[in-house]
Chains A and B, each alone.
Chain A
Amino acid sequence: MEMVFVAAALIIGLGALGAGIGFGLLGGKLLESTARQPEMASQLQTKAFIMAGLLDAVPMIGVGIAMYLIFVVAG
C-alpha cells in the first residue's frame, strides 16, 4: 500500500518539476521578448496564455490520477 503513495508522490512531484521548468522558461521568454518589442506585448501575452494551456495539460491529468490513487485506491 505504501507504494501507492510513493507512486502518487512521484506523479505529482515530477509533474510539478516539469511544469515549473516550463513556466520558468515561458515567463523568461515573455519578459525578454516584451522588452525587445514592447508594441507586441498583448499578442505575446496571448501566445504565452495559449502555451501555458499546452504546458499544464500533463501535470493536470497527473494530479487527477494521483488524487485517485491516494483517495480511492489507497483510501
Chain B
Amino acid sequence: MNSRQSRITRVPLGRWLAIEFTSSVIISLLWVLHSPLAGYSAFVGGLIFIVPNAWFAHRVYRYQGARSAHLVVGDLFRAESTKIALTAVFFAAVFTLMEPVYVPALLFTFAVMVLVGTASRWLIRPQPQR
C-alpha cells in the first residue's frame, strides 16, 4: 500500500465557509452603492446560499472511512435533498415575508454565490495529513 494513499485528508470546511461569507459581504457592499435596500437584499441572497450549504457540509462529513461508505452515501443523498428543500423554503419565506425586497440583487448574489462556492471547493483542495 502506498503511504501517500493511506493519509487522512483534512477538509477545510471552515475556510470554505469563511470565503463564502466574505464573498457575500463584498458583493453586498458593492450593491449598497446602488441602494441600501439592494445591499440588504444581496446579503440575504448570500445567506440563502450559505446556510443550506453549511448544513450540507456538516451532514456529509458526519461519517468518514471505508467501513462507513454506505452511511456516507446515504447522508450525501439526504443532505442534498435537505439543502434544496431549505433553499426553496428560504426563498419562499423571503419573497412572502420580506417587504420590500430588491429581487435582481437577491437572485444575482445567490447565483454568484453558487459559482463562488463551487469554485472555492475546487480551488482550495483538502490537504492530506499523516
Report if A37-B5 is in contact (Cβ < 8 Å); known contacts: A31-B73, A53-B118, A57-B115: yes
- Chain B residues near A (Cβ < 8 Å): 1-2, 5-6, 8-9, 11, 48-49, 56-57, 60-61, 64-66, 69-70, 72-73, 76-77, 80, 83-84, 87-88, 91-92, 95-96, 103, 107, 110-111, 114-115, 117-118, 121-122, 126, 128
Known contacts A53-B117, A71-B96; decide if A64 and B107 are in contact (CB<8 Å): yes
Instruction: Given A31-B69, A57-B114, A71-B92, decide whether A39 and B80 contact each other with a Cβ distance below 8 A.
Output: no
Interface residues of A (CB under 8 A from B): 12, 16, 19, 23, 26-27, 30-31, 34-35, 37-43, 45-46, 48-50, 52-54, 56-57, 59-61, 63-68, 70-72, 75
Checking A30, A41, A59 against B64 with a beta-carbon cut-off of 8 angstroms, the contacting residue is A41
Given A45-B64, A50-B121, are A35 and B69 neighbors across the interface (CB < 8 Å)? yes
How many interface contacts (CB-CB < 8 Å) are there between A and B? 114
Q: In the assembly, what is the distance between CA of A71 and CA of B96, in Å?
A: 7
Interface centre among A27, A30, A35, A45 (most CB of B within 10 A): A45
Task: Output the nearest chain B residue to A43 by Cβ-Cβ distance.
Answer: B9
Known: A31-B69, A50-B122. 15 other contacts (CB 8 A): A23-B80, A27-B77, A38-B66, A39-B66, A41-B64, A41-B65, A45-B64, A49-B60, A53-B122, A56-B83, A63-B84, A64-B91, A67-B95, A68-B107, A72-B95
Query: Residues of B contacting A30 with CB < 8 Å?
Result: 69, 72-73, 76
Q: Interface centre among B6, B8, B65, B66, by most A CB within 10 Å?
A: B66
| Cβ contact within 8 Å between B76 and A48 | yes
Chain A neighbourhood of B5, CB < 8 A? 37, 39-40, 43
The listed residue with most B CB atoms (<10 A of its CB), out of A23, A35, A42, A52, is: A42
**Which of A27, A34, A52, A66 is within 8 Å of B66, CB to CB?**
A34
Q: How far is the CA of A27 from the CA of B78 in the complex (A)?
A: 12
